[in-house]
A = this chain, B = another copy of it.
Amino acid sequence: MKKSFGALTLAYPTPVWVIGTYDKEDKPNAATVAWGGVCSSKPPAVAISLRKSRYTYDNIRERQAFTVNVPGAVHVMIADYCGMVSGRNVDKFAAAKMTAVRSEKVDAPYIAEFPMILECSLIGQNEVGVHVNFIGEILDVKVDESMLGSDGLPDILKIDPIIYAPENQNYHGIGKCLGKAFAIGKGLK
Contacts and interface: CB of A to CB of B under 8 A. Distances in A.
A144 to B, nearest CB: 6
Interface string A128-163: 111101010111111111001101011111010111
A71 to B, nearest CB: 10
A139 B72 CA distance: 33
A53 interface: no
Interface stretch (A20-28, A54-62, A79-87): A79-87
Nearest to A187: B77
B70 A139 contact: no
A156 B188 contact: no
A24 to B, nearest CB: 25
A74 B38 CA distance: 25
A143 B37 contact: no
Given A47-B37, A145-B3, A174-B13, A153 B167 contact: yes
Contact of A140 (B6, B78, B95, B178): B6
Identical chains bound together, number: 2
Contact of A177 (B137, B171, B181): B171
A177 B172 contact: yes
Nearest to A68: B11
B12 A37 contact: no
A156 B170 contact: yes
B171 A172 contact: no
Interface in A1-41: 1-15, 17, 34-41
A157 B189 CA distance: 29
